[in-house]
Amino acid sequence: MVDENTPKISVRGLYKIFGDAPGSVLDLVRDGIGKAELQAETGHVLGLNDINVDMPRGKTTVIMGLSGSGKSTLIRHLNRLIEPTAGEVWVDGENILEYRQGKLRELRQKRMSMVFQKFALLPHRTVLENAGLAPAVSGKSRRQYAEEATKWLDRVGLEGQGGQYPAQLSGGMQQRVGIARALTSNSDIMLMDEAFSALDPLIRTDMQNLLIDLQEELQKTVVFITHDLDEALKLADHLVILKDGYVVQQGEPQEILLNPNDPYIEDFVADINRARVLRVRSVMEETRDDPGEVAGEVDHDDTLESVIAKSGGDTTKRYRVTEDGRLVGVLHMRALVRALVPSSRDDAPAMADA
């Protein structure tokens, strides 16, 4: 029996150096040489620098960073599309770097699926055939996988589209086919590399909401790559922020937003609408004791924005906080307002720019 608290994926001491002889410069990286210095002195490019991340099972881990931060390099190590210079990648208690080709194929075909930024649909196959690609590759006939593929096409909003070809669909619809394909594979891990970044903003929002709905229902282990902090905060249960190939900060998104541990993170979160992102559970006073007279009741996972609307902006009010109907705390509106105020360090860059 697998302990649900055991990480689905664990990355340990992972390094990736691109160049002619990466092993020869590994000690330089471990001794602290920077990315720019390494390239200038040796001609090697540092992709990942001592990555240590636990990805919880049944949750969404979002890996974010700017271009060149190493996020796409990292996700490609999880199914060994890229081999590391050093380190370990553990999936369900097994180091996949020890897998031979047969077991590696099984990992990619049955245990992990991937949704790409550019959709990666086969133009000569119908939507149904694209959705059923994984079972087709494993030897199943169209008749054998059609029902399962149709189920997931319907679930992602593509009812009746199975006979179409990818060129006949919009970009958002094509990405829905990509998600249906990942679901039809029945893998319990979904890797999503900038899956929504090529979509128009409204379609992108729809796809984010679709993923959230699917996760509530299916509880897959999702690893999602993005350069967009708003998207990361919306989707993530666990957030990992990269810069120049190393982890700057990781943890629960609410904690990172309230307690950034580095100027790089502070710059990232400075302009975020905190009321829209922060949840009641992050600012409430935890208690099981009846708080007495209150203005009403709110859920621990409500956004602060919704509570502000409920209160009419009255900072003297307080609310009972419940989770699944049970009392878990009390929310003071003054504490809510304090949580919305950035630290003076957050404000400094904006003042300097002014």
274-340 maps to which CATH number?
3.90.1280.20
Q: What is the mean pLDDT of residues 226-235?
A: 91
The predicted structure's pLDDT at residue 351 = 32
Q: Return the closest-CA partner of residue 184 out of 225, 146, 139.
A: 146
Tokens 């006979």, located at residue = 163
pLDDT, tens digit, for every residue of 233-253? 999 999 999 999 999 999 999
On the question of a common fold for 57-80+100-269 and 274-340, the answer reads: no
Tokens 């590994």, located at residue = 26
Q: What is the mean pLDDT of residues 312-316?
A: 91
* pLDDT band of 350, cuts 50, 70, 90: very low
pLDDT, tens digit, for every residue of 153-191? 998 889 999 999 999 998 889 989 999 999 998 899 999
- Token pair of 236, please? 């993530």
The predicted structure's pLDDT at residue 2 = 58
The predicted structure's pLDDT at residue 354 = 30
Sheet (strand 86-91) strand order: 45-55, 9-18, 86-91, 94-95
* Amino acid symbol at 167: A
C-alpha span between 123 and 132 (Å, rounded): 14
Query: In this structure, what are the phi and psi dihedrals at residue 322, rounded to the nearest 5 degrees?
Result: -125, 155
The predicted structure's pLDDT at residue 343 = 59
The predicted structure's pLDDT at residue 118 = 75
**Domain spanning 57-80+100-269: which CATH class is it, in words?**
alpha beta
Domain limits of the chain?
A: 57-80+100-269, 274-340
- Tell me the pTM: 0.85
pLDDT, tens digit, for every residue of 276-306? 889 999 999 999 999 999 999 999 999 999 9
Q: Is the pLDDT of residue 102 over 50?
A: yes
The predicted structure's pLDDT at residue 348 = 42
CA 122, distance to chain mean position in Å, is 26
pLDDT, tens digit, for every residue of 196-222? 887 888 888 988 999 999 999 999 999
